[in-house]
Every structure is written in structure tokens, then in C-alpha cells.
Amino acid sequence: MYIEVDVPETYLDGIKVGKEAKVYFPVLGDTVTTKVRQTGNFINPSNRAFTVEIPVPNKKGNIKPNLTAKVNINDYTSEKAIVIPQSIISENAEGDQYVYIAELTDGENEAILKKSIIKTGKTQGSQIEILSGIEDGDHIIEEGARSVKDGQKVKILNDQTDEQ
């Protein structure tokens, strides 16, 4: 058995033979992990998409032709990506995107805020990849990010670190 999926042409560069795909069958409540077997050779002019063929093992025999499925294909992976919420990014008059980084001082739980111009990459949901401007381990202002300014002294009340 296999699934044929129309994928928008914007994903043409990221969807290749061998890419991982997860197929979820809502009626069965089952998910199958597989890989892209074949990609189409042309873009359909009516929907600006190309066809992708994904094999689906049917060991139990409960997958039937025309069964509804939701397919997720991994079109991009970066093991060292830094990802932050899009909502904390601001933009200046020149169109540069920035965030505020808290640079810890010698005082207990005290920091000075520094505006850091960032370059962004791909997005997924409400999260965005940061290509430059933030380093691993930087303390980024999330709560109140729109009401602070460069050089402002702040007190860090709760130091939470998320490893992603």
C-alpha cells in the first residue's frame, strides 16, 4: 500500500526521496513512520503542487484504499538550531529584527539588557529559527519584551532554562 500526497511547490527543495514521513490515520488512531519513496517530475499547474508517494506497511490489514490520512514530512532538520517564540521579536525603523538579551552583572540576579539584531530562518508554528544574533546559553527577555529598552537594568526573578 502507498499514499499519494500533493505537496505545495514551496517545499520542492526540502522534500526528497528518503525523507522521513509520519502518517496518521484518524479513524484507526494509528501512526506509521515511513520514508518518501518517490517524488513527482512536474508541478501541477492547477494547484501548484507536486506528487509525493509514501509506502505504508499494512501488517494488520486494517488500512483500506481511500482511507483518510494526515501526512507530516520532515522537510528540514537542524540539530544545532536555536528556536524562540516569534512573539518576542521586535523590528526597528530600518526593518532589522531584534530581541533583548540579559547580560548578567556581578550583582545577585541583576542584568543589563542589550538589544541584539538577529537573522531569522525557518518557522514552525509560533516558533522561529535564529541564524545569528543569539548564542546558546543567552538569556532572552520574553515576558515584557516590548516594554524594555537597551541598557536597562533588570532583576531576574526566576531563572528558567529550556534546553532545545
The per-residue pLDDT for range 18-44, each reduced to its tens digit, is 999 999 999 999 999 999 999 999 999
**pTM score, whole prediction:** 0.62
Give residue-wise pLDDT tens across range 114-145: 999 999 998 888 999 999 999 988 888 887 77
How many domains, the chain? 2
The boundaries of the domain holding residue 109 are 82-155
Single out the residue in 73, 103, 134 at which a domain terminates: 73
Rounded to whole angstroms, how far apart are CA atoms 11 and 157?
43
Q: Which residue, chain included where needed, has cell 503542487?
A: 49
Residue 158 pLDDT level (bands cut at 50, 70, 90): low
Give residue-wise pLDDT tens across range 63-76: 999 999 999 998 88
User: In this structure, are 66 and 89 located in the same domain?
Assistant: no
- Compute how many other C-beta atoms are within 10 angstroms of the C-beta atom of residue 3: 19
Closest C-alpha among 32, 1, 37 to residue 16:
37
User: In this structure, are 94 and 64 located in the same domain?
Assistant: no
Share of the chain above pLDDT 90, in %: 56
